[in-house]
Structure 1
């Protein structure tokens, strides 16, 4: 990834601390794998970010049933911004086949964007 929010910005966006794959404090944030788990009574959202690989994987469960599992590759940038006055994460890709994606985790989970369809 060429651009990534600071660690504290991601924690603020997701409102949880990440679970780090490598717990060694000497491993830079950028080279770790970060898992953010957001839970409520009925749903669980798990977002795994691998900055140095440019990957994000998202799992969304409702009532313990997996509803959505999507993995994004070739991510160029992650940015936190406001759309319609609500904070979201903008994901841009280093691929002509993908359009920008926007991810909201509050007030509810929502994702818009993805593959460019060409006919």
Structure 2
């Protein structure tokens, strides 16, 4: 079966909390896992079904939702660890990616379409 690349232990390291499981008897990657946590005043909810490549991510502050994405049949989810930073790369499609970090500060960066932010920024600076 073609599952997401991220592993259960990597998500445990990234979120720092045990996930709730839809069915206690079904193992990774065939179950549905929900991570709910508070980070610096933000409520983060992340749900993933690794075998089906379905996920949802939402971030709220003081009860108001600031960011939400729900995606079915994503391309992949990858875990990156660089020095003291952990990042999730959510490849929604070949052209759309979400970069998600919790610590040292919460950050969500979304790249969509054919051009990346750096190339778009450089083309904007060259306009007379």
Output the TM-score relative to the length of structure 2: 0.75
Runs of 4+ more than 3 Å apart = 82-85
Aligned position for 1:36:
35
Gaps of 5+ in 2: 116-128
- Separation in 2, partners of 1:55, 1:31: 11
- Give the alignment's Cα RMSD to 1 decimal: 2.3
Q: Which has the higher contact order (CA 8 A, sep 6+)?
A: 1
Q: How far is 1:90 from its partner?
A: 1.2
> Against the structure 1 CA distance between its residues 100 and 85, is the aligned structure 2 distance closer, same or farther, given a 3 Å change threshold?
farther
Aligned position for 2:52:
53
Contact 1:43 1:64 in 2 (8 A): no
Q: Look at both structures and tell me which one has the larger radius of gyration over its CA atoms.
A: 2
Any idea what the Cα deviations from partners look like across 1:40-59, whole Å, max 9, x if unmatched?
A: 46221000011122111011
Gaps of 5+ in 1: none
Output the TM-score relative to the length of structure 1: 0.79
* Alignment length (residue pairs): 114
Aligned position for 1:115:
112
Determine which structure has the larger helix proportion and give its number: 2
- Separation in 2, partners of 1:112, 1:40: 17
